[in-house]
Amino acid sequence: SQFQVFASEITALAAEYAAHKKRANAVDFDDLLANLDELLVGHPEVAERLSSQFRYILVDEYQDTNPVQAAIVDRLAAVHKNILVVGDDAQSIYSFRAATVENILSFPRRFPGARVFRLETNYRSAPEILELANEVIAKNERQFSKTLRPSAPSAGKPELIAAASSSAEAVFVAETMRRLVAGGLAANRLAALFRATHHSQELEFELSKRGIAYDYRGGMKFFERAHIKDAAAFLRLRANPRDTVSWLRTLPLVSGIGETGAARLAERLKTLENLENIDDALVQGILTGRGAEGWREYREILRRLALAASPEAAVRAILSSTYADYLELEYPDAAERLEDLEQLAIFAGGYRDLESFLAEITLKDDYDAANGARGEKKEERVVLSTIHQAKGLEWDAVFLIHLAAGNFPHVRAVGEDELEEERRLFYVALTRAKRNLYLSYPLRAGTDSWEWSGPSPFLQELDHRLVQESRRSGAGTDEGTNFSEEDTIELDELGERKRPRRGLLRDISDL
């Protein structure tokens, strides 16, 4: 674990935190469970009295319980043993907050003689969607085997789209959403779902450019995140050193520089013609001690920016600077923030000059501000959501995006248990759709990048007779089955020409 090196410090902090709560006669939410379990274990007479009091116990969403919750329920049911739990092991997706699928899987063993009822009739999804979902979840070993049966009418096969790039994928989703809304479907009956928040970046840009309003669930919109705004401010200084607002945003990030000092510095720094001319003389008489040391680190970031030859290089200059150290020191989710910046760098790779890239970001900000001022009703907005936030919800049309290798399953899901939970997450995403389901992935990691991505292993497992396959070019036009017939020449390890492959990718079996 990345935190193993801090084990002794964490243990000491936990002990001090526990002592502080005791001194304050206070408990936190975890204590409400842990203390009750400790009471039941340490005082059998209390456990006996409570267990006798509750003759019938019903637990809903049992697949989302953690070990302490399950232990409490077991103890409360010890006398009468009249316990009914309802849950779907195939939707156990919250291990990151201590939930475990083992609770529901081990229930018949912990309560011998328990009867298991399988509720297999699905009242939401079209038969073709359920057939695909059944195919996916059947790959898991540890589960209660079930076969969902539809009650809804047929709606056609789910579509599997291989996009030339993440931008082409975003164009496809935005175009299709607009077409469905034009056909009479309410905007809030459409949703784009994704594994991680940074996977929505390209789509957010595309929807904004087309004036399509959206609700974002599962976190903050990509370009509203503080670290993305920090990076944008640094980039604006590279393009325009007279930007006072960007000086005022970035200077207080430096150790030893407060808001007052930042305001005085900004007045001097905005006289610069370009960042190459930055000089320590500009800050003389304003900064001393810690502030002067922080300024030297800040100046180094600006000098790196000045040398950046492209928008992507400029973002990577920020990523490799002391700003990354600042994130590591200040935020427990620094890894996620750095990943966001990595995605910003990849996205910036699609632009030849910094001015055009910043224009796109400004357009996005202006659109969001105007969208907020107009105050569109919820029914006028499509939905963007992480899959975890989408559990329990449904939409007429669902776009499951960025199903690329290394993204879904999550790159840190290496063990069999983790992979099975990722497959359950995929299953949850599929079963959010009522009638239309679109599965898409980019062939390339970025807009103009040639870093090969390829499909998720979960897509490679599919029986491709269950989906309708198509491709999207970089231009965003729907190619359907009319692919380019220009040969792609590849050489093997000996330098010999491999069997030619036509175009980008006909289907996943070409990989």
**Rounded to an integer, what distance in angstroms lies between the CA atom of residue 335 and that of residue 462?**
32
Q: What is the pLDDT of residues 291-334, one digit of tens each?
A: 777 788 888 888 888 888 899 999 999 998 889 988 988 888 88
Q: Is the dihedral of CA 139, 189, 157, 171 positive or negative?
A: negative
Determine the CATH number of domain 223-372.
1.10.486.10
- The pTM assigned to this predicted structure is 0.76
* CATH class of the domain comprising 4-110: alpha beta
Q: What is the pLDDT of residues 99-152, one digit of tens each?
A: 999 999 999 999 999 999 999 999 999 999 999 999 999 999 999 999 999 999
Residue 375, phi-psi category: left (phi > 0), alpha (psi -120 to 50), beta (remainder): left
Q: Which CATH number, 3.20.20.140, 3.40.50.300, 3.40.640.10, 3.40.50.2300, labels domain 149-213+380-471?
A: 3.40.50.300
Q: What is the mean pLDDT of residues 498-504?
A: 39
**Rounded to an integer, what distance in angstroms lies between the CA atom of residue 345 and that of residue 315?**
5
Q: What is the pLDDT of residues 230-270, one digit of tens each?
A: 999 999 988 888 888 888 999 888 877 778 878 888 888 88
Residue 102: count other Cβ atoms within 10 Å of its Cβ: 14
- Write the single-letter amino acid at 352: R
* Domains 149-213+380-471 and 223-372 fall in the same CATH topology: no
Q: What is the pLDDT of residues 190-225, one digit of tens each?
A: 999 999 888 888 898 889 888 899 999 877 778 888
Helix (DSSP H) and strand (DSSP E) numbers for the chain: 20, 14
Higher local confidence (pLDDT), 227 or 288: 227
- Closest by CA position to 485, among listed 501, 503, 511: 503
Q: What is the pLDDT of residues 329-378, one digit of tens each?
A: 888 888 889 988 988 888 888 788 898 888 887 766 655 555 554 555 66
CB 311 within 8 A of CB 351: yes
Give the start-to-end residue ranges of the domains of the chain.
Answer: 4-110, 149-213+380-471, 223-372
